[in-house]
Each structure stands twice: as C-alpha cells, then as structure tokens.
Amino acid sequence: MKFDTPATDNPIDQLKIIGKPTDRVDGPLKTSGTAPYAYERHDVVPNQAYGYVVGSAIAKGQIASMDLKEAKAAPGVLAVVTAASAGMLGKGDFNTAKLLGGPEIQHYHQAVALVVAESFEQARSAAALVRVQYTRSKGNFDLAKSLDGAIKPPASFGAEADSRFGDFDAAFASAPVKLDARYTTPDHSHAMMEPHASIASWDGDKLTLWTSNQMIAWSVGDVAKTLGIPKEKVRLVSPYIGGGFGGKLFVRSDAILAALGAKAAGRPVKVALQRPLIINNTTHRPATIQRIRLGATTDGKLTAIGHESWSGDLKGGGPETAVGQTRLLYAAPNRMTAMRLAVLDLPEGNAMRAPGEAPGLMALEIAIDEMAEKLGIDPVAFRILNDTQVDPEKPERPFSQRRLNECLTMGAEKFGWKDRSPKPGLTRDGRWLVGTGVAAAFRNNINEKSAARVRLDRNGMVIVETDMTDIGTGSYTIIAQTAAEMLGVPLTQVEVRLGDSLFPVSAGSGGQWGANSSTAGVYAACMKLRTAIIDKLRFDPADAVFDKGKVRSRGKSIALAKAAASGEIVAEDLMEYGDLGQKFQQSTFGAHFVEAAVDAATGEIRIRRMLAVCAAGRILNPKAARSQVIGAMTMGAGAALMEELAVDKRFGFFVNHDLAGYEVPVHADIPSQEVIFLDEVDPTTSPMKAKGVGELGICGVAAAVANAVYHATGIRVRNYPVTLDKLIDKLPDVA
Amino acid sequence: MSVAAVSVASPSTVVAVPNKAAARPPTARVAFNVNGTAHDLELDTRTTLLDALREHLRLTGTKKGCDHGQCGACTVIVDGRRINSCLSLAVMHDGDMITTIEGLGLPGNLHPMQQAFVVHDGYQCGYCTPGQICSAVAVLDEIKAGIPSHVTADLTGAPTVTRPELRERMSGNICRCGAYSNIVDAIVDVAGGKA
Amino acid sequence: MKSFTFERVDSPAAATMAFTRTPGARFIAGGTNLLDLMKLEIETPGHLIDVSRLGLDKIEPTSDGGVRIGAMVRNTDLAADARIRRDYGLIARALVAGASGQLRNKATTAGNLLQRTRCPYFYDTNQPCNKRKPGSGCAAIAGFSRNHAIVGASDACIATHPSDMAVAMQVLDAAVETVDAAGETRSIGLADLYRAPGNTPQLETVLAPGELITAVTLPKPIGGTHIYHKVRDRASYAFALISVGVVVQRDGSGRVALGGVGYKPWRARSADAELPRGAKAATAVLLADAKATHENAYKLPLVERTLASVLAQAKG
Ligand SMILES: Cc1cc2nc3c(=O)[nH]c(=O)nc-3n(C[C@H](O)[C@H](O)[C@H](O)COP(=O)(O)OP(=O)(O)OC[C@H]3O[C@@H](n4cnc5c(N)ncnc54)[C@H](O)[C@@H]3O)c2cc1C
Ligand code: SF4
Ligand code: FES
Ligand code: FES
C-alpha cells in the first residue's frame, strides 16, 4: 500500500481500541520475569557455552603480539577467537570501527579476543590470561583542541552540513539586541539496563542469533557482511530488548563474537558484554561544542539565527547533527547553521535518543532563555512571538501541524507560570533557592516503510508477524491495538510476534519512527486481510463491517473464526510513502516546564516538578506514550544534572565506564511527572495519523532544567552537566 | 563444569566434559530454598547467587544489569531482606530462603505488586522490572519494620509510606527507561494509596 | 575472577586459624566490595574464609556506658538499632546516606570500614595505579580527579576512602577491636586504623595480615545535635563528593569530620576547637595542608560552605 495522499476516514478512526490508555499486552510477562531476553534463551538450543570479551587496553595503535597459551590451557576453555584466528572479516555498513580489533586498534576497549569456555566463571578467568602486547600510537582525544582541523562533513540523512538563508552576517551585525554564546554538551552513554547480549548457533552454514537489537533487517545485513556470508543464511531473533536508546540500532561485538566463538567451539555460544566494557566498547552520543548567535529587534522579533556545532568521531564517522532543529524551530529572515567534524580516536560516536535535537536543544533553548532575558520578555512569550507555521528556510513548505504555541500556553497555565518573577535568584524556601524554567521541544517526524503479515486462524485469533521490535516503547501493544481495531476483535484475540528476521521487514525502532510506521504497516496488511476475508465470505466490500469478532454485511453476520474454518487466511503488505513528507514539514512539538531547587550552600540541585505538553499527532496508546515521555524527561534530567563521560585526554578513553561512575538518575532524582498530550491527528503522516513521541520527550528537557537553575540562582551555566562545582564560586555567601 | 542441579536437569551444561578435567576449579556444595523448592547444588565457588539462579536453576527472571552492585536489576529477597544477588556468592547462602520474581507471582497469578506495575505502567523495556518489584515488596516491609532511611525526618520515630520515602528507598534500582514516577505510583497503590 | 577454595568458620579463633593455615586467604563478610574487586581481578585471593556467621552480629552495651558493635552487624541493622538511632544518630544518618538498601542489607560493619577506594583508575586494570600495582604510577593525579583527595594525599596516590559510616564513627571516637592468629587482641582508634598513602598506597590499614576485626566500640554518648550532610550530584546511590559530619552541643562546641576528602575520615581536634568560631575557622584548620587538582579544587569552598550550612542547621 502506498500512502501518498492525506488520510481520510478509515477503520482506525473508530477509536474503539486505538487511542485508549491500554495496559501493555506483555505486562504479565515482564512483571513476572518470564519475558525472555537474549542471554536467557536456555530454551532455544542445547549445549550453550559461555564467551567473555577481552577489550583493548589502548586507544590507538597496534597489537604487537598476543600470547594465548595460558588462556587456552585454562580449565574449561573451548576456544579463543582473535582477529588473527577469525579470518577475513568485513565491516558492517552501520559500523564505523571494526567489532573485532587487531592488529590495528581503533579505540579503547575495542574487542580483541573472545574466550569461550564451559562456564561463565571459567570464561571470565581465562579472559584475564590473554596476554596482549601493544604498540601505542598518538591519538587525538580532545575535541576543544581539534576545532581548527575540523572539516565540513558530507550530508547525512539528507541534511547538508551547512545552511544559509537571507543574509545572516549583515542582519546579526545590525541587530539591536544580540547574543553570542558558546555551549558544550559532553559525551553521553545510553546505559540501557540490559547489556548487549547474543546467543549464536550454527546449523551448517546457517547462523541463528538470539540477540538484543532494535533494527532486525539492518543487522541481518551487517552480520552477513561482517562474517562474509549471504544474508539468507542469517536469522536474527530479538523479541525482548532491555532498552536500546540507539545503542542497539546496530550489530555490536557481542553478536559477531558469539557467532565466531560458536564456529570455533563447534557449539552454541552466548556472550553478554560485561558492564565495565560497554561504555568504551560500544557507541555513545558524541560531545558537542556549539556557538549560537541570535539577533533581535527590541520588541523581541528574531532577525538572525546562527547555530554552529562541532563534534568528533572516528575516521569515517559522522557529526552529531546538533543544528538540525534550529533550521525549523523559530522564525527569522536571516539564518545560518553549520556543522563541523573533527577526527577523534575516542570510541565510536553514534545515535542516542533524539540524536541531533537532544544536544542541539540543550544549547539552543538556553540561548533562547538568555535572549528573552536580554529583551526583558517572558521566555514563554518570546518563543510564541517567534513561532513560524512554515519551514523558515523554504517558506513555501508548511508544517503539517504545528501547535508549539498551544503547548507553551497550556503548559504555562498548568504550571502556574504567571506567578513567576522575571528576575532570577529571588525565591527562597529554607536552605533552597527555587526557580522555574521552560524550553521548547522539537523532533522531526520520520516515516519509514514497514511490512507485516497478518493471519486469521481457525479459532478466530488474529496473529501479527513483523520484524518490528519493542524496546520498551510498547510496540506489542499498539500493534495489537491496531490489528484489533482493524479487524473488530478484542485485544485478547490478537497475538503479536515481533523481532524475528523470518517476519516481514518493518521500520524497526529508531528515530521515533517506530510507532507510526510499524502500525501503518500492520494497517496495510490488515486491509488486505479484510479484503481476503470478505472475498472468502463473498460479502460485499462496500458494506462489510468488522465488529465484535464478526463480519456483517447486508444483515448477515459471520464469526471471523468461521471465515477461516477451512484454513488460515494470511495477508502480507507493506506501507510505503509518497512525497507528503516533502510537501509538508512533519514535526512533533512540546513544551517542558521544570521547577528546580538549589541548595544555597552546597549548590546541590534537585528537581521538584516536571511537566511536558506534547503535540505529536494521534496518540495510539496514551498510557505507553506517557511512559515514553516521562522516561525521556528522566533521561533529560540526567543530561542536565549528572551525565558526562569523563574523557582521559592522555590515554584516550571514557574513565567512568560503569554504572557507579557514569551516574544516571535514580528514583530520588525524579519527582512525580506530568504529561499532557494535545488532541491532535495528522492525516499527512499515515492512515494512523500518528507521529512519534519517544524522542520528543527528551528534547529540551535539559535546557528547561538549566534555565530553572539559572532562575533559582542567577548563575548561568553553559557547559553541561550543570553540577555544583560550576555554581559554587558564585552562590551567595553562607551566613 | 560441575552441575548437580537436583531439581533441574540441565543437559546443556552436564553433557560436555571439559578437555582439562584435571584442572577442575574448586567447587562447593550448597543447599538453599528458592521459591519454596529445595535445591542442593555443587557449584564452582566463584558462582554468584545471581548466576546460580540464572544459569543453573534457569530462573532468568532475576536480571544481570551490571554484575557489580551498581544497578539493582539482580535484586532478590533472602530471608525477608532484599539484596543484590550479583555481589553474593551462592555458596554463602547455605540454608537460606530465597524469593525471586518468579516466586512472587506468574502470569495468571500475579502478586499485587506485579499487578500494580502493569496497571501503572511501571516499566517499559522490562529489564529492571523484576528487581524493582522485589525491591518494592521488601521496601514496604522495611518501612513496617521501622528501618529508617536517608529522608526519614525523625530518626527515633517510625517511618511512614510517603513518596519521598519510597523514592529514596527505591534508589538502588536504576531504571534507564525512566519509569520511576509510575513505579512510585504503583507502590503507593499497593501500600493503600495513602501517600 | 581467579578460582579459590572456600570455607565457612563459626568462631573468630577458627577464622584466624584458617587464615594461618592457607596462604593467600581473605576474609569475606558481606562480599559487596571484595567480590566486586575479585570479578575484576583487582583482588585475587586463593582462599576465602566466610566470616559472616561468627556470631559477631550483636550490638551490646559496654561497661563504660558505651556500645560494642559486632563486626558482622549489617549496615541496615546498625542504622535501625534503637540505641544507635537515639544516642549515636550520626552513625545511623551516615549509614542510610550510603550505598543502597540492598547493599546495606549485606554490608557489614567491618567490611564497610575496610572497603577500598572507588578511584576509577584503580578499578581499570589497564591503567597505571600505584595502589593496585605499586610503582606503575598514578593515573588520577593528572587525569580525571574530580572525586579525589584534597588532604593527606601523596605524589603516589590521591585516592579517597569512600565510607560514610567511618566518618560518623570518627566523630564519635570509635575504636576497632581485633584478634590476630596468635589470639592477641587489641583496640585501635579509628583515627589510627588507616595509613597515609605516602609511597606505599597499597598499604591501607595498620592491620596485620589475618588480623580479624571483631567489633567497633563507641564511648558513651555525647549528646548534642547530630548532622551528616553528604554532598553528591545524584540524590541517592552515589558516593560522596564530600561529606560533613558534626555533633554540635548547645554551647556551640562540637566535633567535625569530613568524608570524601582524604584517605580516611578527616578530623582534627584543633578544628573541633575552632567550631564555635564558625565554619571558616574550622575549615581553615581542617584543610590547612590541602592540595587540590584543577578538577577537585571546588571541594575547598564546598567543605566550608557545607560546614557553615550544617552549623546553621544545628543552631536550628
Ligand atoms: C554501587 C555501590 C555503591 C556504594 N555506595 C557506598 C556509599 O555511598 N557509601 C559507603 O560508605 N559505601 C558504599 N558502598 C560500599 C559498601 O558500603 C561496602 O561495599 C560495604 O560496606 C562492604 O562491606 P562488606 O561486608 O560487604 O565487605 P566485604 O566485601 O565482605 O569485605 C571488604 C573487605 O573487608 C575485609 N573484611 C571483612 N570483614 C572483615 C573482618 N571482620 N576483619 C578483617 N577484615 C575483614 C575483607 O577481606 C575485604 O577486604 C557502595 C558499594 C557499591 C557496590
Ligand atoms: S589515586 Fe591512588 S588509587 Fe587512584 S590511580 Fe592514583 S594511585 Fe591508583
Ligand atoms: S546486576 Fe547486581 S546490581 Fe546490577
Ligand atoms: S523498564 Fe527499562 S530499565 Fe526499567
């Protein structure tokens, strides 16, 4: 099915099941610990051995020699895999560095060996016996010192590195009110709770991987490419994923090493990346240095917007696209953006929840706050004043929906914004300085083609199969809701099977495209199934109605099960997209409001209230969507207040590489959170009329926190995370 | 590898005879009770309680998030108290009564806390969830038992079920999906909705 | 983790004897620090002696009006003990500010005192670290040192001791009771338990190999207002950036010790004497010889400000 004209009325609009807050269908499994994650599949294949990964001790250089004698002789050891023993390996299209290093080492903790043994304990202790001699070479680890050598990267995901509109330089130079400030965001780690893990099993030349992966089809391709085997020989199974946030978009070393280990040991092998290895072995959100220039008239109209961002990555990698949102968020007749990329020898940078927008808005939304203050205009009002309903760089292109102003106004109303004092540093509650902050949220909507297969079995059960994944997003539930709505059956009559490369290729989970795209694919398949059922029953397609487990037509009513009595009815289809996404700028919007308290003596910062108002198309399951947003707000709070991978610029690695060193928010950091969704449908996105929310929720949060800290203290911190050491010298004297 | 799981025959781990049988690592016997079932195991002394549960008894509901006491995914209840099973040797649990998430309830017969997590959507990816639920159950008992926390205002008084108390006490269970606010709602619900 | 043999003992004498019998042995109590380090092969004992069931799990009054805390009393139980909460509130406060509920249920009194530093380079066996590998250098001094020591450090090591409980015990003049393999017992003031890093940061305490901690004793209660302020970025489940423990009497006199600033809880009687004159005066004494790195210099003002805040709270 091709979606190339805006959606009109369709069965989804019945909203009997779609749009209702629905408990997750996988809830009982998850809450009882019986949902099977990759490393836990004792059930799928017998005789599993254990692999343990050895990571490189240096950031850049060569392996001079490797001594495996002791490791191989250790009790229980079945095999040791290294680049030297693995034979020719390719590199996946989505990987920048190799997943098994040697002799060349490209980053710290790059895998250099896998030790396979009978037990986990044996594999772990033998791994410590792998002796590696390295020759270090000089690496470049300091982004701030690499700005001069940074180059203009090629376009990525269709976005050019630079954009210009009007005459930024002249407009900025002549603007009566100006801001020119620098902001930094540090490297972030996904830190999902489930480590990357895989079980590999070979059957002749056929490989099956039970793994934890967000993008099945991409990863089948990359496994095949890396191992040099045909795609048809690779099966990936990933029904439950213990969090990904972009860190499991791609094949990682656990999968490749499990496959190589299983080959070498001649039996199935399972590998989970050990936690202290994950941060340097896998990908991270790259740090940025950003310069923002804003020019405005004295009455608060932006006349010039300039945003430049520098980031680094390994050779062959890409930039953190932190200026993307600035091309679309506010009106101004003169604009420029630019991204520059430095080569760094730190571990591979790549997508993490809302890549680009998350760090971009961390900077931009502080800048907007600063500018509002300079102008003496309330920051909510200032944003509203500079709204645009068209793509500011291509004014002929309207937004399909843009209700940012409503998000801001409604949020301000709910949050009690009008009582806020415009001056910072004035509210005190005992030991605490209290302030509030606001930021806009913006994230583009993306539609990806997505296929599904739907079966109606003899018992009237509707079974949906697609390689879509559920990374905590609630895919199982919204797909079940979609099929139930389309076929007029209760949720309990739908079974959803996900995350298997034997199923039709879906959009997968990334870029907040998953919910709308994958359900649209299921919609297409269900449409086909409806036709097949109608045909089978010889009903009139013009008046057939699917309702309450039955199909009705011209006064006749037949149970679905009956239709399949003589055999299962199967339909498969793919949803593809025309150019509506080009004609219209499709984006999601929101507003974040935060109240923060700062200990006047110590500078400790604690968040007291958080509110998000989102406009993101039809919300398919308000319960799970709300969870997506509160989860994203939590991650945003982490980015604001604590998350930073500390770079050792001498040895070239992230030093705080475990969950004690890399702090992410805990329960005590997060207050009760409130989320409001505007009632919205966007007929230009798909028959579901939905968009994404999972990433929108993180966009802008950190800036709202930083702005609240500023409002509490009068101290402006432009380098994230906002921690007490950056406040301590400027806080008021303690009596 | 020596596995003498009494109640769970584990073909995959018993079959293979390591080529260096001579250098077998030291093992020790331990007997404990998990979810009402007695187990008598002979384990490599290095086996953590977590790996004994997950790899030997195949009770994979208890999760390994970090293996270093830094996340809480491995929380189980031992003799009424929650602990991180990753930082505890299995052989040190001789005679102990261990409750894992599977022992609290299974689909069709969920524990009220499990049910409350479903109703309040107190999870997303589900990986931290068993640990959160085991912790939550134990936390309510800790408050009942009068054990103070960092946010208990009056050290000599009895702590009560409040949201700040729950947040502080649940802080050893990290949820990167960020379900915290919903998790606290679920616990408040089970505690009687007073907080 | 290297393989090891394991035995459980049921008396302190059996524990120390087992130690003499087996070279390379270590005591294991809660295991929450030792196992963590063994997994990374930072600790590699060949034999473990389980001392968690020695019967050293009681909290009893002493003849001089103080209290004796068994070495194996769990952190949770110590914090929940009615007498500790009433008379030694600082200890309860420090305990519940540490680690997590799960960890405190396992962690013991002795194990907590003997836990090792959380320096990230100590934890990464690829990196130079004099404490882990004497003579290899200290990666922290010119590296990521935001959490490191500002007092008592040396050119060889700037690690801090991470315990919260020890800070409170230091304020309250605790002593450690031990027994060695020969059956000799001794009592060591907590102040004397820890060794300055000097050129031998690998030697952390004055305990002899195989010397078993049996108890911590506290002198009789001193009254006063007990406040423990642990400063951290994350609101819970995080080690201290710094911490300040005070007991302040009505007349303004009192005691203070700092956590997160040195290789041991940092206390100076001469600083106690300055407390009535305020935070600035007391801090000046406590941090007289302070030496900060670029990354941890913020701890200097932070100590003074936190102490000032705590003293203000004590006044009410
Ligand atoms: C993620 C995490 C966060 C933490 N956060 C904090 C925190 O914020 N504040 C804090 O204070 N602590 C914190 N801790 C540390 C925790 O408090 C310690 O791990 C714990 O107190 C150690 O006690 P244990 O009984 O488990 O010691 P074990 O690990 O059993 O032993 C520690 C050491 O003591 C020795 N030992 C044990 N008993 C005796 C004895 N009787 N005589 C002689 N030697 C003995 C052992 O041989 C070993 O060397 C944290 C730990 C983790 C993992
Ligand atoms: S500070 Fe001490 S523990 Fe840390 S690296 Fe230096 S020597 Fe090692
Ligand atoms: S797995 Fe035990 S605390 Fe993380
Ligand atoms: S539900 Fe995913 S980490 Fe908590």
The strand pair at A462-465 and A494-497 is best described as: parallel
Beta bridge partner(s), residue C243: C230, C259
Question: In this structure, are A566 and A659 located in the same domain?
Answer: no
**Residue A655: which of C143, C238, C279 has the nearest Cβ?**
C143
Q: Do C76 and C84 form a contact (C-beta atoms < 8 A)? A: no
Confidence of residue B10 (pLDDT cuts 50, 70, 90): very low
Q: A79 to each of A41, A185, A583, how far by Cα in Å? A: 22, 42, 56
Q: Do A586 and A682 form a contact (C-beta atoms < 8 A)? A: yes
Is it the case that residue A422 has pLDDT exceeding 80? yes
Residues above pLDDT 90, as percent of chain B? 86
3-class secondary structure, A640: helix
| Amino acid letter, residue A510 | G
Question: What contacts B156, CB < 8 A, 6 or more positions away?
Answer: C82, C85, C86
Residue-level pLDDT at A671: 97
Return the ligand 1 atom nearest residue C32 CA.
26
3-class secondary structure, B74: coil
Residue-level pLDDT at B24: 83
Q: What is the pLDDT of residues A223-257, one digit of tens each?
A: 999 999 999 999 999 999 999 999 999 999 999 99
Q: Do A294 and A272 form a contact (C-beta atoms < 8 A)? A: no
- Asked if C82 has any chain A CB less than 8 Å from its own CB, the reply is no
Instruction: Please give the torsion angle defined by the CA atoms of residues A244, A247, A251 and A255, in that order, rounded to the nearest 10 degrees.
Output: -70
Residues above pLDDT 70, as percent of chain A? 100
Q: Which of A25, A29, A31, A476 to probe the B interface (max B CBs under 10 A)?
A: A31
Residue of A nearest to B185 (CA): A672
- Asked if the structure places residue A495 within a domain, the reply is yes
List of chain C residues with pLDDT < 50:
none
- Asked if the structure places residue A318 within a domain, the reply is no
- Asked if C4 has any chain A CB less than 8 Å from its own CB, the reply is no
DSSP state of A324: G
What is the Cα–Cα distance from A678 to A613, expressed in whole angstroms?
7
Confidence of residue B17 (pLDDT cuts 50, 70, 90): very low
Q: Which of C3, C116, C124, C311 to probe the A interface (max A CBs under 10 A)?
A: C124
Question: In this structure, are A540 and A588 located in the same domain?
Answer: no
Confidence of residue A158 (pLDDT cuts 50, 70, 90): confident
φ/ψ of A545, rounded to 5, equals -125, 130
Query: How many helices (H) does chain B have, and how many strands (E)?
Result: 7, 5
B72 CB within 6 A, ligand 3: yes
Residue-level pLDDT at B194: 56
Is it the case that residue A176 has pLDDT exceeding 90? yes
Q: What is the pLDDT of residues A340-360, one digit of tens each?
A: 999 999 999 999 999 999 999
Residue-level pLDDT at A511: 87
Q: Do A16 and A549 form a contact (C-beta atoms < 8 A)? A: no
Distance in Å, CA C155 to ligand 2 centroid: 10
Is it the case that residue B6 has pLDDT exceeding 50? no
Q: Residue ranges of the alpha helices (H) in C232-276?
A: 269-274
What is the Cα–Cα distance from C252 to C245, expressed in whole angstroms?
15
Domain CATH for A661: 3.30.365.10
What is the Cα–Cα distance from A372 to A376, expressed in whole angstroms?
6
Question: In this structure, are A441 and A570 located in the same domain?
Answer: no
Is it the case that residue A311 has pLDDT exceeding 60? yes
Burial of B21 (0-12, 13-18, 19+ CB in 10 A): exposed
- Asked if B63 has any chain C CB less than 8 Å from its own CB, the reply is no
Mean pLDDT of B20-36: 85
Structure tokens of A523? 């919609």
B172 CB within 6 A, ligand 3: no
Chains contacting B with at least 3 CB pairs below 8 Å?
Answer: A, C
What is the Cα–Cα distance from C266 to C287, expressed in whole angstroms?
9
What is the Cα–Cα distance from A679 to C252, expressed in whole angstroms?
61
**Residue B20: which of A32, A75, A119 has the nearest Cβ?**
A75
Helix axes B112-119, B129-144, angle to 10 degrees: 120
Question: What contacts A63, CB < 8 A, 6 or more positions away?
Answer: A83, A101, A102, A103, A105, A112, A132, A133, A134, A135
Distance in Å, CA B126 to ligand 3 centroid: 15
Residues of C in contact with A642 (CB under 8 A): 233-234
What is the Cα–Cα distance from B10 to B50, expressed in whole angstroms?
17
Is it the case that residue A466 has pLDDT exceeding 80? yes
Beta bridge partner(s), residue A497: A465
Question: In this structure, are A605 and A479 located in the same domain?
Answer: no
- Asked if C235 has any chain A CB less than 8 Å from its own CB, the reply is yes
Residue of C nearest to A133 (CA): C126
φ/ψ of C120, rounded to 5, equals -65, -25
Question: In this structure, are A499 and A604 located in the same domain?
Answer: no
Structure tokens of C92? 């309860």
Q: How far is C32 from chain A (nearest CA, A)?
A: 13
Q: How far is B80 from chain C (nearest CA, A)?
A: 10
Is it the case that residue B5 has pLDDT exceeding 90? no
The whole domain housing A635 covers: 399-446+583-730
Residue-level pLDDT at A735: 66
**pTM greater than the 0.80 cutoff:** yes
What is the Cα–Cα distance from A308 to A609, expressed in whole angstroms?
32
Residue of B40, B11, B9, B10 lying closest to B27 (CA atoms): B40
Return the ligand 2 atom nearest residue C117 CA.
3
ipTM over 0.95: yes
Q: How far is C9 from chain B (nearest CA, A)?
A: 11
The answer to whether A734 contacts C308, with C-beta atoms less than 8 Å apart, is: yes
Residues of B in contact with C97 (CB under 8 A): 150
What is the Cα–Cα distance from B87 to C1, expressed in whole angstroms?
13
Q: B130 to each of B61, B63, B106, B136, how far by Cα in Å? A: 6, 7, 12, 10
The strand pair at C212-218 and A2-3 is best described as: unpaired
Task: Give C 8-67 residues with CB within 8 A of chain A.
Answer: 39-41
Residues of C in contact with B76 (CB under 8 A): none
Total tally of structural domains belonging to chain A: 2
Q: Do A648 and A661 form a contact (C-beta atoms < 8 A)? A: no
Residue-level pLDDT at B21: 45
- Asked if the structure places residue A148 within a domain, the reply is no
Return the ligand 2 atom nearest residue C159 CA.
1
**Residue A31: which of B1, B15, B117 has the nearest Cβ?**
B117
- Asked if the structure places residue A230 within a domain, the reply is no
- How big is the A-B interface in CB pairs under 8 Å? 236
Distance in Å, CA A49 to ligand 3 centroid: 22
- Asked if B4 has any chain A CB less than 8 Å from its own CB, the reply is no
What is the Cα–Cα distance from B50 to B63, expressed in whole angstroms?
8
Among A518, A543, A576, the domain boundary falls at A576
Return the ligand 1 atom nearest residue C29 CA.
30
Is it the case that residue B1 has pLDDT exceeding 50? no
Q: What is the pLDDT of residues B103-114, one digit of tens each?
A: 999 999 999 999
Residues of B in contact with C232 (CB under 8 A): none
Chains contacting A with at least 3 CB pairs below 8 Å?
Answer: B, C
Phi-psi region of B72 (alpha: psi -120 to 50; beta: other; left: phi over 0): left
Question: In this structure, are A604 and A722 located in the same domain?
Answer: yes
Structure tokens of C267? 């206390």
Question: In this structure, are A593 and A713 located in the same domain?
Answer: yes
Residue-level pLDDT at A156: 77
Is it the case that residue A339 has pLDDT exceeding 60? yes
Return the ligand 4 atom nearest residue A30 CA.
1
Question: What contacts A157, CB < 8 A, 6 or more positions away?
Answer: A321
Question: In this structure, are A718 and A625 located in the same domain?
Answer: yes
The strand pair at A450-456 and A432-444 is best described as: unpaired
3-class secondary structure, B168: helix
**CA neighbours within 13 Å on the CB side: how many for A270?**
26
Residues of B in contact with C100 (CB under 8 A): 72, 84, 171-173
Q: How far is A124 from chain C (nearest CA, A)?
A: 7
Confidence of residue B195 (pLDDT cuts 50, 70, 90): low
Confidence of residue B40 (pLDDT cuts 50, 70, 90): very high
- Asked if the structure places residue A570 within a domain, the reply is yes
Among A534, A554, A576, the domain boundary falls at A576
Burial of A148 (0-12, 13-18, 19+ CB in 10 A): exposed
Residue-level pLDDT at A107: 98
Residue of A nearest to C122 (CA): A655
Question: What contacts C229, CB < 8 A, 6 or more positions away?
Answer: A602, C243, C244, C245, C306, C309, C310
The answer to whether B127 contacts A194, with C-beta atoms less than 8 Å apart, is: yes
- Asked if B163 has any chain A CB less than 8 Å from its own CB, the reply is yes
Q: Do B59 and B25 form a contact (C-beta atoms < 8 A)? A: no
Question: In this structure, are A680 and A706 located in the same domain?
Answer: yes
Beta strands in A486-582 (DSSP E): 494-497, 545-547, 550-553, 556-559, 569-577
- Asked if the structure places residue A514 within a domain, the reply is yes
Q: Cα A172 vs. chain centroid, distance in angstroms? A: 35
Residues above pLDDT 90, as percent of chain A? 99
Mean pLDDT of A65-72: 98
Helix axes C279-286, C299-315, angle to 10 degrees: 140
Question: In this structure, are A569 and A641 located in the same domain?
Answer: no
Read out DSSP for C147-201? Answer: TS-SSS--SS-------SHHHHHHHTT-EEEEE-TTS-EEEEEHHHHBPP-TT-T
| Amino acid letter, residue A589 | F
Q: Indicate which residues of A carry an active-site annotation.
A: 695
- Asked if the structure places residue A418 within a domain, the reply is yes
Question: In this structure, are A457 and A413 located in the same domain?
Answer: no
Residue whose structure tokens are 């159950």: B137
Distance in Å, CA B127 to ligand 4 centroid: 5
- Asked if the structure places residue A561 within a domain, the reply is yes
User: Which residues does a 6 A CB cutoff place in the pocket of ligand 2?
Assistant: C 117, 119, 121-122, 129-131, 138-140, 148, 157-159, 201
What is the Cα–Cα distance from A592 to A630, expressed in whole angstroms?
11
Is it the case that residue B13 has pLDDT exceeding 90? no
Q: How far apart are the first and last CA of chain B?
A: 50
Question: In this structure, are A465 and A596 located in the same domain?
Answer: no
The answer to whether B87 contacts C28, with C-beta atoms less than 8 Å apart, is: no
3-class secondary structure, A311: strand
Among A576, A611, A643, the domain boundary falls at A576
